[in-house]
Amino acid sequence: MNRKNVIILLLSILLLCSISGSYLLYQQQQQQLEAQTALIERLIKTAPATPSSLPETPYDESDGLHRSTATIVAVRSDTRSGVLGTVLVEVKEGTGNVLVNTNPFVEPDTQYSVREAVEVAANFTHVDISTKDIIISFGINGTLIGGPSAGAATTVATVAALQGRKVRHDVAITGTIEPGGYIGQVGGVFDKAVAAEKSNISLFLVPYGQKEVVYYEQQVEERKIFGFSFTRVYYTPKEIDLGEYLRGAMAVEEVLTLAEAAAYMLV
């Protein structure tokens, strides 16, 4: 075999090795992706079926726990529709741990929001939580929990658990919780308000400045061109006042601080 043929053979072998390596890497990535997908699906399937699966006792010292629940409102990522759930806060004697129940799956930004909620609630109530353990659980029809929009509700529920008070369950709130006890703005307010009204919530609290929202209304236009029918679907922005839109069905109020939210929600 001459030198030229040897070189061609070696290059062919290197090319085959490179292709084989790339294929194996692709197979490994696919297997990892399938494993992650299976894990997420399992987490969804094993999540609480309904918000009522969480304990509803607002305050109970019989087992050494102080419990409180509050209504949370979210928007499903798949259908963009509003959905209601529950946040449960349990406080017991401990060593300052803040634990988040990750079943259903709770995204990292939500876990961070929970820790911020606990810190704000502790400052608001002047309770030393270094001698307590606080466990936060969510129940929201198997929906993956993501984003910080349940921060305000989690904070109010934590305040109730620390003070031995009850949360009104005919009141729902959406909003982040910010340092200093301020309620921050969130997205999907219109869809959340509609879901709250359908679930017989009597009062819906929104962040300051979000009682008026922009809603994208679906428009369907049909045209005939050269005997053929064409349907065009598009969305036009429409500004509405939630209080006016839901008048008679559900009251809507803006809140700027945790103190304002607690005044509406705690008894």
Q: Rounded to two decimals, what is the model's pTM? A: 0.70
Q: What is the DSSP string of 82-141?
A: EEEEEEEEEEEESSS-EEE--SS-B-HHHHHHHHHHHHHHHHHHT--GGGEEEEEEEEST
Of the pLDDT bands very low, low, confident and very high (cuts 50, 70, 90), residue 246 is: confident
Return the CATH number of 51-215+240-265, one of 3.90.320.10, 3.30.450.20, 3.30.1370.100, 3.30.230.10.
3.30.230.10
Task: Please compute the mean of the pLDDT values over residues 41-50 and round it to a whole number.
Answer: 39
Please, which pLDDT band fits residue 59 given cuts at 50, 70 and 90? Answer: very low
Q: What is the rounded (10 degree) CA torsion for 160, 51, 132, 114?
A: -90
Q: Looking at the predicted structure, is the pLDDT value of residue 70 above 80? A: yes
Alpha carbons 90 and 68: distance in angstroms, whole number: 7
User: Rounded to whole angstroms, how far apart are CA atoms 203 and 173?
Assistant: 9
Mean pLDDT is highest, among 46-55, 138-147, 258-267, for: 258-267
**Helix, strand, coil % (nearest 5) of the chain?**
40, 30, 30
pLDDT, average across residues 9-32: 54
Q: Which residues sit opposite 99 in a β-bridge?
A: 135
3-class secondary structure, 162? helix
Residue spans per domain, the chain: 1-45, 51-215+240-265
pLDDT at 237: 83
Pairing of strands 176-178, 182-184: antiparallel
Higher pLDDT, 225 or 70: 70
**pLDDT for res 148:** 82
Among candidates 14, 31, 21, 52, which has minimal Cα distance to 141?
52
* Average pLDDT value for residue range 247-263: 93
- φ, ψ for residue 158 (rounded to 5)? -70, -40
pLDDT at 21 over 60: no
Distance CA 140, CA 162 (A): 23
For range 107-119, the mean pLDDT: 86
Q: What is the mean pLDDT of residues 169-177?
A: 95
Amino acid at 137: S
pLDDT(52) > 80: no
- Determine the average pLDDT of the residues in 112-122: 93
pLDDT over threshold 60, residue 29: no
- CB contact burial 39-66 (16+ within 10 A = b; e otherwise): eeeebeeebbeebeebbeebeeeeeebb
